[in-house]
Amino acid sequence: MNILNIIDKKRLNKHLEYEELDYAFNGYLNKNIPDYQMSALLMAICINKIDDKEILDLTDIFIKSGQVLDVSAINGPLVDKHSTGGVGDKTTMIIGPIIAACGLKMAKMSGRGLGLTGGTIDKLESIPGFNVNLSIEDFLHQVDNIGFATIAQNENLVPMDKKVYALRDATATCESLGLIAVSIMSKKIASGSKNILIDVKYGKGALIKSKDDAYLFSQIAEKIGQKYNCKVKCIIDNMDMPLGDNIGNSLEVLEAIDILNGKNNYLKDLCLKLAATLISMGKDINYDEAYKLAQEAIDNKKAYEKFQEFVKAQGGDITKIRVSPYKVMVKSLKNGQIVNIDAHKIAQLARAIGCFRETKEDKIDYSLGIVLNKRLNDKVKKDDILCELYVKENYNKNIYDQAINCFEIKED
Ligand code: URA
């Protein structure tokens, strides 16, 4: 077999056989195929797509690159969730503690930032001391004891996704339905839960852009689930606007803490919906009953206590979370009403501020980001603060106009 023939075949939009995918991706994992050839193959896949059979085959290859967790020693209903990715999506940090407070268990394998969307692993690492590289033994022990633990892909668990994911992020090859399905579902199957909820985001601020693609994604995710005897449920949700008020690693952790302490916004509503779905799947109870349990876990602070336990168990210290001391207040140029906050433009602004990686090797400054002070339909007066930018000391002054442009205001 020859890697150039395989790249060429996909460039010509031809179907790749299991053996060809295996040769290319395992060759990449074993360092026999360099970054530039895998990048070319990923780009050909992005442009020409992979069919259902290729997605199923590649998912299998990804899973087999590591081990599948043996979760038989975990007591209690085990569930798992994953989001397909969107701007400001911090749902895992809220849902994990809620479901743990309700007696469920979640062994969550997450990823880093991908394209214009942040990643749970980067967000959690913004908590000083937080360890996303637990041993499998410690990971399962924490899931059993506390109900919730989060780790990154590693040498034992879908190492193929760890390597390919980082390359996709640095080569603008994130937005492929097939590659997203392979990446997410391989992590979910390897994590061992038989009850999986996928939060399928589509829109300007998501990796998946259209509702039709979100449906296609759901179908293939369910098909992969069937192959591995897992119940997969998909909830499709629009993301033309950022999810919640904070964007940027530390700032998103702080907003997750606020939600667990009772802050109300659309993010909270969505988290309650997702948590209730997981609780109803795990406990086999009806949705309304499950929703009540999720709501109670926030109201009586049990979910927040779980969050604290979870962070402490993984070595983090929330009192040391740091946001940048350099702030830029972005003010409205007119009186009117906010009719749109464009999630894609917000994500580009976050990139310009420095929230994401440009190369695989980049270290991110977790303290940077954006806080939206106004929401959709809010009335604003000239000079009202629309958002606060947490920036580097020597920030590029052009970001001010870029920030103003994220808000569409209908003049009075
Ligand atoms: N989340 C993942 O884990 N992988 C993707 O490709 C997209 C979102």
Q: Number of structural domains, the chain?
A: 3
Distance CA(18)–CA(25), nearest Å, equals: 11
Q: Do 129 and 231 fall into the same domain?
A: yes
Is 175 among the domain residues? yes
Chosen domain end from 291, 319, 347: 319
The ligand 1 atom nearest the CA atom of 85: 8
Question: Is residue 82 annotated as a catalytic residue, yes or no?
Answer: yes
Give 391's strand partners: 326
Is 72 among the domain residues? no
Q: Where are the beta strands (DSSP E) in 18-93?
A: 80-83
Choose which residue among 112, 180, 199 to substitute to test ligand 1 binding: the one with the highest number of ligand atoms within 8 A of its C-beta.
Answer: 180
Q: Do 247 and 305 fall into the same domain?
A: yes
Is 10 among the domain residues? yes
Q: Do 239 and 311 fall into the same domain?
A: yes
Q: What is the CATH number of the domain that holds 38?
A: 1.20.970.10
Concatenating the DSSP letter of every residue in 56-77 gives HHHHHHHHHTS-----TT--S-
The whole model's pTM is what? 0.95
Chosen domain end from 275, 292, 319: 319
Element (H, E) at 237: strand 231-238
For residue 237 the two structure tokens come to 């949700």
Q: Do 313 and 340 fall into the same domain?
A: no
Stated length of the chain: 412
Distance CA(129)–CA(77), nearest Å, equals: 29
- Please give the residue range of the domain that contains residue 220: 78-319
Question: Could you list the pLDDT tens digit for every one of the 412 residues in the chain?
Answer: 999 999 999 999 999 999 999 999 999 999 999 999 999 999 999 999 999 999 999 999 999 999 999 999 999 999 999 999 899 999 999 999 999 999 999 999 999 999 888 899 999 999 999 999 999 999 999 999 999 999 999 999 999 999 999 999 999 999 999 999 999 999 999 999 999 999 999 999 999 999 999 999 999 999 999 999 999 999 999 999 999 999 999 999 999 999 999 999 999 999 999 999 999 999 999 999 999 999 999 999 999 999 999 999 999 999 999 999 999 999 999 999 999 999 999 999 999 999 999 899 999 999 999 999 999 999 999 999 999 999 999 999 999 999 999 999 999 8
Is 284 among the domain residues? yes
Q: Do 299 and 348 fall into the same domain?
A: no
Is 69 among the domain residues? no
Taking CB atoms and a 6 Å cutoff, what residues make up the pocket around ligand 1?
Answer: 84-85, 111, 114, 179-180, 183-184, 187, 207
pLDDT of residue 116: 86
Question: Is residue 168 annotated as a catalytic residue, yes or no?
Answer: yes
Chosen domain end from 319, 339, 355: 319
What is the 8-class DSSP label of residue 147?
S
Is 30 among the domain residues? yes
Is 54 among the domain residues? no
